Amino acid sequence: MASKKATIHDIAKELNITASTVSRALNNNPRISEATKKAVLGMAKDLNYQPNNLAAALRKGKSQLIGIIVPTINRSFFSSVIRGVEEVANKLNYRVIVSQSNEDVDNEIATLNALLNARVDGVLVSIGKNTDRFEHYKDLMERGIPLVLFDRTTNEVGTSQVVIDDYLGGYLATEHLIKQGCKKIVHFTNLKQVNIYKERYRGYLEALRDNDIPFDESLVYQSDMQLVDGRNCTEQLLASHKKFDAIFSASDYAAVGALQILKENGVKVPEDVALVGFSNEPFTSFTDPSLTTVSQFPIEMGQAAAESFFEILEAKKKKFIPQKTVLQPELIIRDSSLKSGK
Amino acid sequence: MASKKATIHDIAKELNITASTVSRALNNNPRISEATKKAVLGMAKDLNYQPNNLAAALRKGKSQLIGIIVPTINRSFFSSVIRGVEEVANKLNYRVIVSQSNEDVDNEIATLNALLNARVDGVLVSIGKNTDRFEHYKDLMERGIPLVLFDRTTNEVGTSQVVIDDYLGGYLATEHLIKQGCKKIVHFTNLKQVNIYKERYRGYLEALRDNDIPFDESLVYQSDMQLVDGRNCTEQLLASHKKFDAIFSASDYAAVGALQILKENGVKVPEDVALVGFSNEPFTSFTDPSLTTVSQFPIEMGQAAAESFFEILEAKKKKFIPQKTVLQPELIIRDSSLKSGK
DNA sequence: AATATTAGTGCAATCGATTACATCTTTTTT
DNA sequence: AAAAAAGATGTAATCGATTGCACTAATATT
């Protein structure tokens, strides 16, 4: 039974036809008679034929593979995006190769090259936090390899992007806090290359302005936005003895860090300090109090990114104008910010 | 600049040598002179040569790709396993293709075939919860394609497996509850094909026996073990008016569901009912109270699975005896089970 | 009935890298 | 100095599927 893998040549030999006819039959080419197609399909099944995509890919110059680069895969947001990409890609008979950059530029470049050597038909990337060089992406563009940036994007590379309206997210979060009566709203952010935090910050500023709340720069804390950073910033904040009645953290992780320190210091959330995070990480509904946050619809983002990718792929021959897809975020109001509700 | 991609033939032409020499030089073949190697490497860089792995894969019959099938990628446990696999695989110059079965057998088979068509060199799989057919995996074995099962495994297929000692995990969790003084310990489980829950259940039973606590079958609840199932089971449990002082849920999700219902009904955790979950999902440290659970070391599991895979690959020529790697779980004690501590 | 179409297949080159075998130099051995 | 060995490179087939072009036979057109 376990003879070597069958090829189209084996099928051809059995049926006394040529491999080209078999190939056409398998691809449902209209120039092949129904009878032959039936025979080929039957024999393919009999011989347990499995097409060798490598060979086809080599010949056609298309591997049916998409590369994805994310900073880390085991973060709910990113793995959900990947899930979304996969759903769309698989339907179109594409497979997804996943790679992690670990927030390191050199790693990002190395991993990108590895994907290219594997001959992926294109790449979807969420840029590392510390990435400050973009030549490798510009190269891609020049070589005509489809590239879509999502979430952590940059405008330095003229390609399609999929983001949520981070500005709006920041605005909604801040506005919500203001409506809860907060006036001294601390903001945790990270104003590096990547756009997302800048945008959330912009939303924060705008909401303050629209509501005539004076902006106090000393209430803005910059960090790496991990849980530990949230802890550190909050400790500094408390130590500074500044007055504040809310924290809008542009990351859920930092928000949880803040929550921990606040609780440890007997500061009541939301009574003393209202708290809002960003991303709707799964754990945010399980904290005590549950964390108000902004949903980024990661699965939808993945789907949109994949669709964007296939648009580039299809438009390939003609000139293609990069699209920027902006998804609407949604404020998820939970207990950590509800001063009035309780 | 953006001429067509350079091949070894282009390099050969430039240097007035043949492609075979270039190929050997690039592969650091000892039969090629140092001078030629240097020249080839230099020209490769000049021409911005990127090897076409597809062509090499076709010729060598090895794609340097590993397929992974998980029920769903956006679950911390699975994405962390994938992370572990990737770390090991990338070091050995392999790439990882990720696919999801969505807990559906047919999907699992389809996705497996897709991976095989992409000519992966082997497959790592965590079996879907409802999978009750294993022919597709047996086929793989017969065809000599390396297969490693992890976490959700079965003994029906004679291949290498990587699991944690679920029995021990179940035992540790139950024993811990007993030490906290609990005597009527409810167990949430799912006794289907897949081994893991059976093993945890066995640990539960054994711990009871070793501590002379009578086993009460009516305290065992079976479900799909999602959050909602945990809620349902707990509601039933409360409605039944059975006496119980602890719940050991073989899933963190169901445990959180239980926690929610208990709190909603004014049952205090851990005072009235101690609670232990399983998996150490990230959210377990953020619940109120924080959830005692069992860590499965998913990244380590991924690394072990990858190593197991490469062992099979290397031993390919000789006969290979499937290995079962058993990782030790660790009980993470948090507040939800600490009656004494507080 | 002669010519033009159309349907259905075959031929052979091709994608890019690898590799068994052959060939040609040099160098070493005796 | 002739024979043997080692060193360096070339030749050509190969992996499996695809596809432009050619070809035959059957059908349609005038």
Between A320 and A58, residue with greater pLDDT: A58
Cα B199 from chain centre: 16
Q: How far is B113 from chain A (nearest CA, A)?
A: 8
Would you say residue A26 has pLDDT above 70?
yes
pLDDT of residue A2: 39
Per residue in B37-79, pLDDT tens? Answer: 999 999 999 999 999 999 999 999 999 999 999 999 999 999 9
Would you say residue B173 has pLDDT above 90?
yes
* Closest CA relative to residue A291, chosen from A336, A234, A253: A336
Per residue in B262-306, pLDDT tens? Answer: 999 999 999 999 999 999 999 998 888 999 999 999 999 999 999
Per residue in A54-70, pLDDT tens? Answer: 999 999 999 999 999 99
- Class for domain B63-164+298-328, per CATH? alpha beta
Distance of alpha carbon B172 from alpha carbon B36, whole angstroms: 63
* Closest CA relative to residue A249, chosen from A177, A339, A164: A177
Per residue in B10-30, pLDDT tens? Answer: 999 999 999 999 999 999 999
* Closest CA relative to residue B99, chosen from B91, B283, B85, B326: B85
Q: In A, residues 212-241, which contact B (CB 8 Å cutoff)?
A: none
Would you say residue A267 has pLDDT above 70?
yes
Strand C closer than 7 A to residue B33 Cβ: no
> What percentage of chain A has pLDDT greater than the value 70?
96
Q: How far is A97 from chain B (nearest CA, A)?
A: 4
Nearest residue, CB atoms, B286 vs list A53, A95, A286? A286
Q: Is A222 exposed, middle or buried (0-12, 13-18, 19+ CB in 10 A)?
A: middle
Tell me the CA distances in angstroms from A68 to A338, B168, B220, B274, one per residue in order. Answer: 38, 37, 43, 43
Q: Which residues of A touch B80 (CB under 8 A)?
A: 74
pLDDT of residue B56: 96
Same fold, A8-51 and A63-164+298-328: no
Q: Do A95 and B74 touch (CB under 8 A)?
A: no
Q: Do B64 and A288 touch (CB under 8 A)?
A: no
Q: Among A5, A8, A79, which would you mutate to test the B interface (most chain B Cβ atoms within 10 Å of its Cβ)?
A: A79
| Cα three-residue angle B76-B82-B87, rounded to 5 degrees | 125
Is A296 near chain B, with CB under 8 Å? no
> Is residue B1 within 8 Å of B48, Cβ to Cβ?
no
**pTM for this prediction:** 0.91
> Which positions 54-83 on chain B have a beta carbon less than 7 angstroms from any atom of strand C?
55-56, 58-60
Strand C closer than 7 A to residue B120 Cβ: no
Separation between the CA of A314 and the C1’ of C16 (whole angstroms): 25
Average per-residue pLDDT in chain B? 94
> What percentage of chain B has pLDDT greater than the value 70?
96
Would you say residue A327 has pLDDT above 60?
yes
Would you say residue A166 has pLDDT above 90?
yes
pLDDT of residue B341: 53
Tell me the CA distances in angstroms from A82 to A76, A292, A312, B97, one per residue in order. Answer: 10, 25, 19, 12
CATH number assigned to the domain with residue range A8-51, chosen from the 4 options 1.10.260.40, 1.10.3680.10, 3.40.50.150, 1.10.3720.10: 1.10.260.40
Would you say residue B308 has pLDDT above 80?
yes
Which residue has tokens 């699965």? A299
Average pLDDT over residues B242-246: 96
pLDDT of residue A1: 33
pLDDT of residue B1: 34
Q: Which residues of B touch A143 (CB under 8 A)?
A: 2, 5
* Closest CA relative to residue B294, chosen from B134, B183, B101, B165: B165
Average pLDDT over residues B125-130: 91
Domain range annotation of chain A: 8-51, 63-164+298-328, 166-296+331-337
> What percentage of chain B has pLDDT greater than the value 90?
89
pLDDT of residue B317: 62
pLDDT band, very low/low/confident/very high, at B2 (cuts 50, 70, 90) = very low
Is B7 near chain A, with CB under 8 Å? no
Average pLDDT over residues B74-92: 96
Would you say residue B92 has pLDDT above 70?
yes
Is B296 near chain A, with CB under 8 Å? no
Architecture of the domain defined by B166-296+331-337:
3-Layer(aba) Sandwich (3.40)
Distance of alpha carbon A120 from alpha carbon B96, whole angstroms: 12
Q: Is A26 exposed, middle or buried (0-12, 13-18, 19+ CB in 10 A)?
A: middle
pLDDT of residue B259: 96
Is A256 near chain B, with CB under 8 Å? yes
pLDDT band, very low/low/confident/very high, at A195 (cuts 50, 70, 90) = confident
Q: Do A97 and B100 touch (CB under 8 A)?
A: no
Which residue has tokens 């021409």? B47
pLDDT band, very low/low/confident/very high, at B193 (cuts 50, 70, 90) = low
pLDDT band, very low/low/confident/very high, at B4 (cuts 50, 70, 90) = low
pLDDT band, very low/low/confident/very high, at A319 (cuts 50, 70, 90) = confident
> What percentage of chain A has pLDDT greater than the value 90?
89
Q: Which residues of B touch A82 (CB under 8 A)?
A: 73-74, 98
Would you say residue A340 has pLDDT above 80?
no
- Write out the E strands in A154-251: 160-164, 185-189, 220-222, 246-249
pLDDT band, very low/low/confident/very high, at B192 (cuts 50, 70, 90) = confident
Average per-residue pLDDT in chain A? 94
Per residue in A96-145, pLDDT tens? Answer: 999 999 999 999 999 999 999 999 999 999 998 888 899 999 999 988 89
Would you say residue B247 has pLDDT above 50?
yes
pLDDT of residue B191: 87
State the nucleotide closest to A27 in CA–C1' terms: D18
Q: Do A83 and B73 touch (CB under 8 A)?
A: yes
Which nucleotides of strand C come closer than 7 angstroms to any CB of the protein? Answer: 7-12, 14-20
Q: What is the DSSP letter of A279?
A: B
Report strand pairing: A185-189 vs A220-222. Answer: parallel
Q: Do A65 and B97 touch (CB under 8 A)?
A: yes
Give, for A115, the enclosing helix (H) or strand (E).
helix A105-117
Per residue in A234-263, pLDDT tens? Answer: 999 999 999 999 999 999 999 999 999 999
* Closest CA relative to residue B259, chosen from B198, B182, B337: B337
